[in-house]
Amino acid sequence: MAETVLENKMNRVELAEEELKDHADALPPRYPIASNDPNDPLNWPLAAKITTYATVCLFSFIANVNGSNFTVAVLPLSKHFHTDTNHATFLIGFNVLMFGLGNVLWVPLMRVFGKRPVYLMALAVFIAANAWSTTAKTWGSLLGGRMLSGFGASAADATVPSLVADMFFLDQRGNCMMFFSFALSTGIFLGPTINAYTVQYHNWRWSCGYLACVGGLLFILTFFLIRETQYLKERRQWPEDEIPAKRTYVQWLSLSVGYNSDRPLQRFLTTFWDIVRMATYPPIFWTGCVIGLFVGWTIIIQVTAGQIFVKPPYKWHLGLVGVFSLAGWVGVILSFYFGGMLIDLISNRARQHTHTMGAKPGARLAALVIPFVISPVGLIIYGLLVAEKKRWVGPAFGYAMHSFGFTAVSNIAVTYAVDCYQQFAGEALVTVFVVRNVIALVCSFYANRWIAEDGMKKVFGSMAGIEWALLVLGIPLYFFTKQILAFTSSYGPMKRSPKA
């Protein structure tokens, strides 16, 4: 009797194991396939991944606070340096431009030296530039300091998606990238609030001074918390007696862990040339244009808010204008789910359905439907109600709607670009962010003139129309990503890819 019971239990266990095995075989594999090396970033303990990524996201937040530094201080700066508001916006525009162009240098350096040394070098530049801006005596000197601070801050931008691809599996990236997008967007929208009160209660110099101090603290955190994610070995299953020894914490502090000694100068120049050529890849160029448009429109909203709400009938003090930016931050928080977990859900279901990698990048673009409906309408609401001098609640609501779309679209488009060109994620994102920031520069230069000539209603209506048009271009990318990737694998850096 006892033997029969034991035999039945064993049979049930065997059946359960077979069912689990069949279920596991039915699921698509996780990409990329990790090695059994404990130093492979895919195999790191969760705590190591979190501390590394959280510190980089903090850097991204501070970098974007720096980028939005003077959006609410256009009028005080124009008075201090006896210039017009158009020239005062140059301090914003050229900082934004260098925030994009800086990665043309940082990413090639990253490919040679690794990410950890690049972050430390960039933070040193960031600290020095903001200290310089704090003591600037002339408009030209301040412009130089702002450009250099944008250059230093840029290392927290295009390098981050590559870092995420180093540490996390494909099915995790959309959600993980949302933390980066959240940090980036929070810096853009919370930054004006911080900077406005700094300018109001101290002056514009201290809005650079406190950034230099925070940069110093971040430098210390980076040195002790960020591990090198650049993995130079082949990802394979090592024999038991050849598995590399696990690095100690002190060994991870070394600045040479990610150094690639294989023809470093040629690698640097090749990476630079790859960045240039990837601008011809349709997914990359479209991603840069659509994100650049959202950034540019956000800058226009912030600059106009900083000039309109301090005048009648509103007559706000500068700090209250900064508080208005919290409306944008509310939109960022609401987009956290829709821009991150939702796109992972959509793409992962597509992968489970097809059991292939081919449909996966384009599947993420389906989530653009939500910001397509919400974001341009927010622009129209903001422009119409501000033009009619209506109560601040309406424009704030429109600002939140547009910010919702800004964060969601940024994460969806960036994750799509990274998934399309995983092996060249750093190079791809440099191209994206250069295009993005050139568009943002143009917007900051001509915003005041455009509004003066055509008026708020017409300008914001046009902005909404252009935004809809660019988002509609995501439809052919959604349906033809596989064909586009096959075409782009025939030239440029993707020609060297093993998948080509």
367-382 confidence digits (pLDDT tens): 888 889 999 999 999 9
Kindly report whether the peptide bond that precedes residue 45 is cis, defined as omega within 30 degrees of 0.
no
pLDDT at 68: 79
pLDDT at 28: 52
Q: Is the pLDDT of residue 261 over 90?
A: no
Higher pLDDT, 117 or 348: 117
pLDDT at 243: 83
DSSP 339: I
pLDDT at 351: 53
What tokens were used for 17?
A: 């194991």
pLDDT at 2: 43
pLDDT at 357: 43
Give 233-254 pLDDT, tens digit per residue: 877 787 887 788 889 999 999 9
Nearest to 65 by CA among 223, 213, 226: 213
pLDDT at 302: 83
> Range of 224's domain?
36-233+259-496
Higher pLDDT, 12 or 180: 180
Q: How confident is the model at residue 286 (pLDDT cuts 50, 70, 90)?
A: very high
Mean pLDDT for the stretch of residues 262-278? 89
Mean pLDDT for the stretch of residues 295-312? 86
Residue 72 lies in a domain: yes
Residue 350 lies in a domain: yes
Say if residues 212 and 134 touch (Cβ distance below 8 Å): yes
Q: Is the pLDDT of residue 265 over 50?
A: yes
Q: What is the mean pLDDT of the chain?
A: 84
CATH number of the CATH domain containing 383: 1.20.1250.20
pLDDT at 424: 85
Q: Rounded to whole angstroms, how far apart are CA atoms 221 and 106?
A: 20
Give 96-135 pLDDT, tens digit per residue: 889 888 988 998 999 899 999 999 999 999 999 999 999 9
Q: Is the pLDDT of residue 290 over 90?
A: yes
Q: How confident is the model at residue 341 (pLDDT cuts 50, 70, 90)?
A: low
Residue 458 lies in a domain: yes
pLDDT at 157: 84
What is the tally of structural domains in the chain?
1
Residue 196 lies in a domain: yes
Residue 29 lies in a domain: no
pLDDT at 36: 82
Residue 25 lies in a domain: no
Phi/psi zone of residue 228: left (φ > 0), alpha (ψ -120 to 50 degrees), beta? Answer: beta
pLDDT at 498: 63
Higher pLDDT, 9 or 172: 172
Residue 19 lies in a domain: no
Helix/strand/coil (H, E, C) string of 79-116?
HHCCCCHHHHCHHHHHHHHHHHHCHHHHHHHHHHHCHH
pLDDT at 30: 65
* HSE-CB of 132 using CA atoms within 13 angstroms: 19
Residue 161 lies in a domain: yes
What tokens were used for 498?
A: 């093993």
Mean pLDDT for the stretch of residues 10-18? 46
pLDDT at 360: 66
Note the pTM of the prediction, 2 decimals: 0.78
Higher pLDDT, 151 or 32: 151
